[in-house]
Amino acid sequence: MNSRIQPRIDSSIDSPIDSSVDSSIKQTMSTPNVVEIAPSPEPRGLRMRLARNPEWFTVALIVVTCLIVGAINPRFFQFATLFDLLHSATTMSLFALGTLVVLASGGIDVSFTAIAALTMYGITKAVFAWWPDAPFALILITGALGGVVLGVVNGLLVHRLKAPSLIVTIGTQYLYRGLLLTFIGTTFFMNIPHSMDHFGRIPLFFYHTADGLRAVLPASVLALVAAALVTWWLLNRTMMGRGVYAMGGSLAIAERLGYNLRAIHLFVFGYTGMLAGIAGILHVSNNRLANPFDLVGSELDVIAAVILGGARITGGTGTVVGTLLGVVLVTLIKSVLILVGVPSTWQKVIIGAFILLAGTLFALQRKS
Amino acid sequence: MNQEDVSFAPPSQSSQPFLEVVGVHKRFTGVHALRGVSLAFERGQIYHLLGENGCGKSTLIKIISGAQPPDEGQLVIEGVPHARLSALEALAAGIETVYQDLSLLPNMSVAENVALTSELATHEGRLARTFDRRVLAATAARALEAVGLPGNADFQATLIEQLPLATRQLVAIARAIASEAKFVIMDEPTTSLTQKEVDNLIAVLANLRAQGVTVLFVSHKLDECYAIGGEVIVLRDGQKMAQGPIAQFTKAQISELMTGRHLSNERYREGAHAEDVVLDVRNFTRAGQFSDVAFKLHGGEILGVTGLLDSGRNELARALAGVAPALSGEVLLDGKRIALRTPSDAKRHRIGYVPEDRLNEGLFLDKPIRDNVITAMISSLRDRFGQIDRTRAEALAVQTVKDLQIATPGVDKPVQSLSGGNQQRVLIGRWLAIDPRVLILHGPTVGVDVGSKDIIYRIMQRLSQRGIGIILISDDLPELLQNCDRILMMKKGRVAAEYRADALSEADLYHALLSEAA
């Protein structure tokens, strides 16, 4: 009984509603249909812009890091550094793009490194044993398919069990890795199939540095570009991509609105698995080495990179550009600190500090 | 169910009702929620679904919107019978629900929230396709303008989480319009709106109605139902008690139909409070929200605080509870100065706070009633090893359930299994467990049905007789007049006036509320 509406009615509680109500209804109905929206108080300036585009913070960290490193060691500013950076960022970028999709959907995946390790080692070993001359494209597609299968297993489990994806993927990480080490092999080998070895050496672009070294931009960087474009397109231009964000916003609401959660779960984890499978194959051909103990253990670096790129761990946000920037930042720290004589053990300290800094900043921003 | 027979009926377009609910039954474990409900909904009519919590309203809505199938009976949509509907089928048939939680995705833009659902429904939920962003923007603009919101690109790109609640409400309605809804269900849409926003919503409803859309409106606020007009449907215990033009019913008649008992608007408050001052608030200030607030609360007194949404009443309540503390001023409890900087401070001084938003701020919904009752006094239940004394906890919870007439089969049931009024009583019970000096009740009957209100009012009066000072913050004017000794009127963050509740008419209080003089 909220009397703010019609105080007149209350005075006639026990008598039938008289005509005064009718007239008041008409009055209400003839109200011009325009709302004055109370303009939501928008705090202008840096904070607001940061809230909308948290990747600017990542850009700032990258610039600061580059300036400091460059000031100490001017040799940092050359194309060779950029090539190195892109080279070493390729695998991580593929992982990170997958992680972005999972985080955007409100989940988390820690099994992608195990998927990559299993597909890369299993396929490399199989190809070497049975068909050493297999074309690289076929190997890559097989890796992608293998990744999709393992990822879809994750997706099915998450959807069926209604279990937190963290628990499920911790389980499958152990499972996939255990299968790899038990049934496929534990020794690393360097004589990888010829086509993989060859692909790792194809330069997209190269030049000779002042000290006569050959600086090479490897062709695998193309995979990074392609994966970034495809992921961006999927997330922003397809209903599936919108469904991913919808599910990340609220699982219950997305279901109520008619989004097919099963399809989204399968897509999210399948796609992440596919990127992981491709990343695994590229990793082998870039390093000319298939090591079953490789990759697993670097999940947190990847998740850290995506978070530094502005995605929220609670889901529903994150952009491809931000993710790539996050990867650049983490790779930068990992690869260039050596250039300025910082021991590599400090990498973790600095990455940790950056994450805390970013976390604090985003938290403060949300509070305001 | 004789589906064959019905399918012979010629699909006449004009005379036939849009939706018929035919003999619907629904049972949950142990509860017969709907007992053969039959209803017909005409095009372009507004229906008010009224009933106490637990009468089957929500179940009926869920069945119509395809969230749950009926056990028996069927839905006939435009002459086509359905034994059950999926959520997507309901949407495709033009049935849209604006849930109480609005079901908006906070991380997505206004345009996406408005237009993606219809995009999804028109393509049978297929996700493996691209969408035309220009079409999306055009649909969103059309729907937003229909509810009076701006359709420009800037507003369309705004994220839902950045919008105030009233605007979100309109966005949710815009979504229904974008989906070319023929039947819109609104579940308590006005609960958290200001008067002006409610007026606007009513105008939007009239607009929808003029376009031949059927609206099913669920609300506890009878006055609004009268202001909107249309037909009323009263449910009680899973059965339809009445249906007809709302103007043919008096409020008393409707209350009686809903509850099965006669309700009066008599004052609950009787007797006088003690003379000792329990709480003395001086120069209480939180910049930008309220300033120089001063009042005294006596033992056993019920002090009402009201004002418009921006008056600072909500902020005052939260400050007294230590949730968002005041930045200056002082508070004396029983003559001693106390600091209220955190909720624990308030608790330590035995000041209880029942928040307005009980779902988000008050209750652990999936935890048992027992755990919810004992949270405030849990430290006093520790034995010397720091373990909780389960026997005492159980006894206390059982006692609270009995004291406050909470309707539940047992204290181990999760709080979310209770109706709104019962949940509210669990919250009050939590504070009784600490034997409070002061109890701050913030909108204690928001979203609570008539019968539960009555029980909550009686509990309040009983508590005041025990000497507890109660601060009742509310915008429900009859509630304040029925229950309080004094009423403080807040305007623009200051106490603008103080009234004696027994010497005031509702009309006077209403005019005082709306007058601009501060």
pLDDT digits (tens, 9 = 90+) for A246-261: 999 999 889 888 889 9
Cβ contact B223–A3 (<8 Å): yes
Indicate whether B390 belongs to any domain: yes
Q: What is the mean pLDDT of residues A88-109?
A: 94
**Which residue does chain B place closest to A244, by CA atoms?**
B127
Of B67, B198, B265, the CB nearest to A5: B198
Separation in Å, CA B462 to CA B261, B268, B372, B401, B443:
22, 10, 22, 15, 18
Q: Nearest-CA distance from B398 to chain A in Å?
A: 32
- Among residues B201, B233, B259, the one where a domain terminates is B259
Task: Tell me the pairing of strands B290-298 and B277-286.
Answer: antiparallel
Region of A62 (left: φ > 0; alpha: ψ -120 to 50; beta: rest) is alpha
Position A12 scores a pLDDT of 37
**Which residue does chain B place closest to A21, by CA atoms?**
B227
For B:473-512, CB contacts with A below 8 A are 475-479, 506-507, 510
* Number of domains observed in the structure of chain B: 3
User: Is the domain of B176 the same as that of B108?
Assistant: yes
The larger pLDDT score, comparing residue A104 to residue B345, is at: A104
CB < 8 Å to A317, chain B: 107
Position B53 scores a pLDDT of 65
The full 3-state SS of B390-418, as one line of letters, equals: HHHHHHHHHHHHHHCCCCCCCCCCEHHHC
CB < 8 Å to A34, chain B: 148
User: Is the domain of B106 the same as that of B170?
Assistant: yes
Cβ contact B103–A256 (<8 Å): yes
Of A9, A14, A25, the CB nearest to B223: A9
User: Is the domain of B333 the same as that of B294?
Assistant: yes
Cβ contact A5–B120 (<8 Å): no
Q: Return the percentage of chain A with pLDDT > 90, whole number.
A: 42
Task: Tell me the pairing of strands B214-218 and B277-286.
Answer: unpaired
Full domain range(s) for residue B334:
268-350+438-445+470-518
Distance, CA of B391 to CA of B226 (rounded, Å): 50
Per-residue pLDDT of chain B (518 residues; tens, 9 = 90+): 444 444 334 444 456 889 999 999 988 765 678 888 999 999 989 999 988 766 788 889 989 988 888 999 999 998 889 888 887 788 888 898 888 778 899 999 999 999 998 888 778 778 888 888 899 999 999 999 888 889 898 899 989 988 887 788 889 889 988 888 899 998 877 666 777 777 888 888 888 888 888 999 887 777 788 888 889 999 887 888 889 999 898 887 887 787 766 555 677 877 777 888 889 999 899 888 898 999 999 988 999 999 877 788 888 998 998 888 888 888 999 888 988 888 888 888 989 898 887 777 778 888 888 888 877 777 677 777 777 778 888 888 888 888 888 887 788 888 887 877 788 888 888 888 788 899 999 988 877 777 788 888 988 898 888 889 999 998 878 888 889 999 999 988 889 889 988 888 877 887 787 675 44
Cβ contact A40–B164 (<8 Å): yes
Cβ contact A1–B510 (<8 Å): no
Rg (Cα) of chain B, in Å, rounded?
A: 25
Output helix, strand, coil percentages for chain B, rounded to the nearest 5.
40, 25, 35
Separation in Å, CA B317 to CA A37, B281, B314:
26, 12, 5
Please list, in sequence order, all residues whose beta carbon lies within 8 angstroms of the beta carbon of residue B211, skipping any fewer than 6 positions away: B44
Burial, B298: exposed, middle or buried (Cβ in 10 Å; 0-12, 13-18, 19+)? buried
User: Is the domain of B291 the same as that of B376?
Assistant: no
Indicate whether B425 belongs to any domain: yes
CB < 8 Å to A42, chain B: 162
For B:190-229, CB contacts with A below 8 A are 195-196, 198-200, 202-204, 206-207, 221-224, 226-229
**Element (H or E) spanning A262, and its range?**
helix A261-287
The answer to whether A66 and A265 have CB atoms below 8 angstroms apart is: no
For A:316-335, CB contacts with B below 8 A are 316-317
Of B148, B250, B513, the CB nearest to A13: B250
Position B86 scores a pLDDT of 82
User: Is the domain of B178 the same as that of B242?
Assistant: yes
Cβ contact B105–A256 (<8 Å): no
User: Is the domain of B241 the same as that of B324?
Assistant: no
User: Is the domain of B207 the same as that of B61?
Assistant: yes
Note the ipTM here.
Answer: 0.78
- Among residues B238, B259, B280, the one where a domain terminates is B259
Q: Nearest-CA distance from B184 to chain A in Å?
A: 14
The answer to whether B460 and B470 have CB atoms below 8 angstroms apart is: yes
Indicate whether B375 belongs to any domain: yes
Cβ contact B476–A6 (<8 Å): no
For B:65-124, CB contacts with A below 8 A are 67, 87-88, 91, 99, 101, 103-108, 112, 116-117, 119-121, 123
**Which residue does chain B place closest to A251, by CA atoms?**
B105
Give the range among A41-50, A137-146, B397-406, B430-439 with minimum mean pLDDT: A41-50
User: Is the domain of B125 the same as that of B184?
Assistant: yes
User: Is the domain of B107 the same as that of B223?
Assistant: yes
Asked if A256 has any chain B CB less than 8 Å from its own CB, the reply is yes
Q: Nearest-CA distance from B437 to chain A in Å?
A: 29
Q: Nearest-CA distance from A104 to chain B in Å?
A: 10
- Among residues B259, B285, B304, the one where a domain terminates is B259
Indicate whether B78 belongs to any domain: no
Output helix, strand, coil percentages for chain A, rounded to the nearest 5.
70, 5, 25
pLDDT band for A45, please (50, 70, 90 cuts): low
Indicate whether B363 belongs to any domain: yes
Q: Which of A1, A11, A15, A30 to mutate to test the interface with B (most CBs of B within 10 A)?
A: A1
Cβ contact B227–A2 (<8 Å): no
CATH number for B192: 3.40.50.300
User: Is the domain of B274 the same as that of B218?
Assistant: no
**Element (H or E) spanning A268, and its range?**
helix A261-287
Distance, CA of B96 to CA of B22 (rounded, Å): 20
Distance, CA of B33 to CA of B72 (rounded, Å): 12
User: Is the domain of B239 the same as that of B211?
Assistant: yes
Number of A/B CB contacts below 8 angstroms equals 185
Cβ contact A258–B112 (<8 Å): no
The answer to whether B129 and B157 have CB atoms below 8 angstroms apart is: no
User: Is the domain of B149 the same as that of B239?
Assistant: yes
A161-173 per-position pLDDT tens digit: 988 999 999 999 9
Of A35, A255, A259, the CB nearest to B148: A35
CB < 8 Å to A4, chain B: 195, 198, 223, 475, 477, 510, 513
Indicate whether B192 belongs to any domain: yes
Best-predicted range by mean pLDDT (A6-15, A70-79, A263-272): A263-272
Q: Nearest-CA distance from B203 to chain A in Å?
A: 5
Distance, CA of B55 to CA of B53 (rounded, Å): 6
Indicate whether B56 belongs to any domain: yes
Indicate whether B453 belongs to any domain: no
